[in-house]
Amino acid sequence: MKIAVDFGHGVNGDRGAEGYISEEKLIREYGQLVVDGLKTLGHIVINVTPTQSVLTLGQSLAYRVNATNNYNADLFVSLHVNAFKKDKARGCEVEYISNRGKAYADRICSEISKLGFINRGSQLRNNLYVLKYTTMPAILIEPFFCDNKEDCNLYNPKTIANAIIKGITGEDVYMDSKKPSESEQNKMSEIDHSIPKSAGVYPFPGGLGYFEILPGKGRLDLHLDRYNYLTIQDDEKEGNRVIITTRTKGSKILL
């Protein structure tokens, strides 16, 4: 099967939701595992996420749709995480626009809910650009709420990725998601050690790691790389908390 995968947001001012963990970071963490796992099972996968961060929201949506349609994919999958009001909503949902899309959405919701997330079910959405203008079955996955502490504590990138893959293909690819092998850990840690070139990012001396300041959210992230970092936050809206995030074990709220 030819599958187009889209890591949502990540361009210009569209960085996604901010909760206990950043949506943009979460998507790129579990999303890469979805891409790698589908390829492991023999599927042809194209990542249709825009590579130019300067695109407007409209341009980025058009890029994702056009790349998918030109590729003539059998399935379009847009990856996200949800947000509402802090600790007011929980669970997984998958949005669709066609009956064939709903079949995928139902299976993915079922698999994700087995991880302990509340099953909010498949949601018909006729007005989402990436679902409306793609020409094949299309789904948008919201596996959990990044602004809900209980959901974030359940989050594990490999179990989420495996649930999505199984919902699409019927097959497991990350059988022991909580205990990856040493070779898997080494492979995963090599995915992206680059340092983002954006405002508020300051590299540590020696070329390894950086810290990121988000003054509007009273937040400081200390990064080993893009997927292993410590978050310290004290904000009137978001609260006062300390969160640790690792590639293999996901995120844990410490305080």
Average pLDDT over residues 86-111: 94
Does the pLDDT at position 199 exceed 80? no
Does the pLDDT at position 192 exceed 50? yes
pTM value?
A: 0.70
| Distance (Å, whole) CA 92 – CA 150 | 13
Does the pLDDT at position 47 exceed 80? yes
| Positive or negative torsion for Cα 94, 100, 103, 108 | negative
3-state SS class at 141: strand
pLDDT value for 176: 61
State the greatest distance between any 2 C-alpha atoms of the chain, in Å, as a whole number. Answer: 53
* Closest by CA position to 250, among listed 121, 120, 116: 116
Does the pLDDT at position 132 exceed 50? yes
Does the pLDDT at position 129 exceed 50? yes
10 Å CB burial of residue 253 (0-12, 13-18, 19+) is middle
pLDDT-based confidence at residue 15 (cuts at 50, 70, 90): low
pLDDT-based confidence at residue 187 (cuts at 50, 70, 90): very low
pLDDT value for 214: 78
pLDDT value for 224: 87
pLDDT-based confidence at residue 169 (cuts at 50, 70, 90): very high
Give residue-wise pLDDT tens across range 170-181. Answer: 999 987 644 444
Does the pLDDT at position 226 exceed 80? no
Residue 252, beta-bridge partner list: 244
Give per-residue burial for 45-84: e unless 16+ CB within 10 Å, then b.
bbebbbeeeebeeeebbbbbbebbbebebebbbbbbbbbe
- Say if CB 39 and CB 69 are below 8 A apart: no
Share of the chain above pLDDT 70, in %: 86
| Helix/strand/coil (H/E/C) assignment for every residue in 75-103 | EEEEECCECCCCCCCCCEEEEECCHHHHH
- Fold for 2-178, please state it: Aminopeptidase (3.40.630)
Does the pLDDT at position 189 exceed 50? no
